[in-house]
Amino acid sequence: MAPEKERSSFPRGQAIKRIVFLFLVWSLAWGPLQAQSSKPNLILIMADDLGYQDLSCYGSTKHKTPVLDKLAKEGIRLTSFYAGATVCTPSRMALLTGAYPPRAGWRGGVVGYGIKPLNGLAPEALTMGEVFKGAGYETALIGKWHLGDSPELQPMNQGFDTAYYIKKSNNQTKKLWRGDKLEVDPFNNSRLTEQFTREAISFIKTNREKPFFLYLPFTAPHFPAQAHPDWKGKSANGAYGDVIEELDARIGEILGTLKSTRLEKKTIVVFISDNGPEPGQKKWAHAGPYRGLKWSSLEGGTRVPCIIRWPGMIPAGRESDKLTTAIDLLPTLSHACGIELKKISKGIPKLDGLNVWGTLSGKSTQHPRTNMLYWQGWAVPQAIRVGDWKLYFDQVKEIQGSNKGPILIDLSKDPAEQKNLSARHPDKVKEMKTLAGNLLKEIEENTIPLGGPPIQQKGAQKESRWLK
């Protein structure tokens, strides 16, 4: 006789209810984790004062940058990408807020030079760190901050869970901080790139099981250019080239960590520069085929490299000349990560950035950005770009005849900005002047003050010369 089957101690109905209950518990416990783990990670790498043509994938014949060249081949390379401004502090303000820097109270200069150290990005400004932290990301700032020295203006109050950083440029400070604690004083400038890389790798490994946002603004190749001893004298372009080639190799270590931790395919990697080359390094730095350096609204001062990779989501080996700026990264990357920015945004400052994900992914031929304002180092914008046309509405010393009236340039035919076409196209000049005036008026009416102690503003933003 066959043995009798063991009977459950639960009646059939109760057993079913128990199974349903356990399934619900599992769903509640693991469902959010699964959803969380599906979010892509984001690593935003910023070089400091890197010129448009300082990478071999952008035309350099003096620097070997195999890592970034490979990154470009695996993703998209943007050739009409602009920093948020021509100098450090406003450029970083623009990047993190998705807004033109005057909306955050900027009137010129950088923290420690034109802006008092205790002033900087206001705590009430919504930053990229806060957006991603609010979406469940672990967030970190590793590198250069330069958005205020006072305790209330530090990255930990702007959405970053952890921070390992210097507060200003590497020529302005010798202090290296971890959170609100001073860790090294003085730091060794030749070791900073190495230290930031080690910290970034540690952060990635620690947070491999959850989504993370790593903002990694290196100090290289900002002066003084001092490479690690292992790279000293290795390039064909002096100390400046040594620093760039070390930076390239260090980024390779970070990308290698993504691969070894199996995070490569679920991590968006962005590489940009904060502005064009420092004038003191013009002998070694290159922005060609463009003229102009840091602090200048000429193309070389603000057009910078931009490489974005996301395997499987951004087709490999693409190039785009569509007009794109650093302020577009916040709405674009938020969208790519499934974050509804409108639900998070406090409207402080008002967003100027546009979502260009369709262009990056190749899923749309309609590019949303058609114009942008150029913000130079001091107080006011100097120019506006609409399509391929660029209009300077203030005096530009580097362009002959700028003291006589607006300068109109066709960038598609004249990337070096040598030919003034304003006399041939007066209607275009009028059209662009009107647009610039309207944009500037709206910006001036919707600003917030700099963070930190109250400062004496010199009245309303100075009106540009040829917009009067």
**pLDDT interval class at 17 (50, 70, 90):** very low
Residue 146 token pair: 């330069």
Looking at every residue in the chain, the average pLDDT score rounds to: 91
SS3 113: strand
CA 24 to chain centre: 42
**Range 225-229 average pLDDT:** 96
Residue 108 has pLDDT above 80, yes or no: yes
Q: What is the pLDDT of residue 462?
A: 64
Range in 20-34, 178-192, 306-320, 403-417 with the lowest mean pLDDT:
20-34
pLDDT confidence band for 458 (50 / 70 / 90):
low
What DSSP assignment string belongs to 380-416? SEEEEEETTEEEE-S--TTSTTTTSS-EEEETTT-TT
Cα–Cα distance for residue pair 121/105, rounded to 1 Å: 8
Distances (CA, A) of 195 to 184, 207, 448, 454: 11, 18, 35, 36
Q: pLDDT of 313-347, one tens digit each? A: 999 999 999 999 999 999 999 999 999 998 887 78
Provide the residue type at 399 as one letter: I
60 vs 288: CA distance, rounded Å = 9
- For residue 9, the model assigns a pLDDT of 41
Residue type, 136: G
List, for residues 36-76, the tens digit of each pLDDT value: 458 999 999 999 999 999 999 999 999 999 999 999 999 99
Q: How many CB atoms lie within 10 A of CB 221?
A: 31
- What is the chain's alpha carbon radius of gyration, rounded to the nearest angstrom? 25
Q: Is the per-residue pLDDT at 22 higher than 50?
A: no
pLDDT of residue 363 exceeding 90, the answer is yes
As a whole number of angstroms, the distance between CA 292 and CA 57 comes to 20
pLDDT in tens, 264-274: 999 999 999 99
| Residues of the chain above pLDDT 90, percent | 83
Lowest mean pLDDT among 212-221, 339-348, 355-364, 444-453: 339-348
pLDDT in the model for residue 461: 55
Output 107 or 256, whichever has higher pLDDT.
Answer: 256
Query: Given this model, what pLDDT does residue 379 score?
Result: 66
Q: Is the distance from CB of 449 to CB of 106 less than 8 angstroms?
A: no
What percentage of residues in the chain have a pLDDT greater than 70?
A: 90
Of residues 14 and 207, more confidently modeled? 207
pLDDT tens, position by position, 132-181: 999 999 999 999 999 999 999 999 999 999 999 999 999 999 999 999 99
Q: What's residue 306's pLDDT?
A: 98
pLDDT higher than 60, residue 359 = yes
pLDDT at 30 over 80: no
Query: Is the pLDDT confidence value at 238 over 50?
Result: yes
- Structural domains in the chain, CATH included, are 39-370 (3.40.720.10), 373-453+462-467 (3.30.1120.10)
Paired strand residues for 215: 44, 141
pLDDT of residue 72: 98
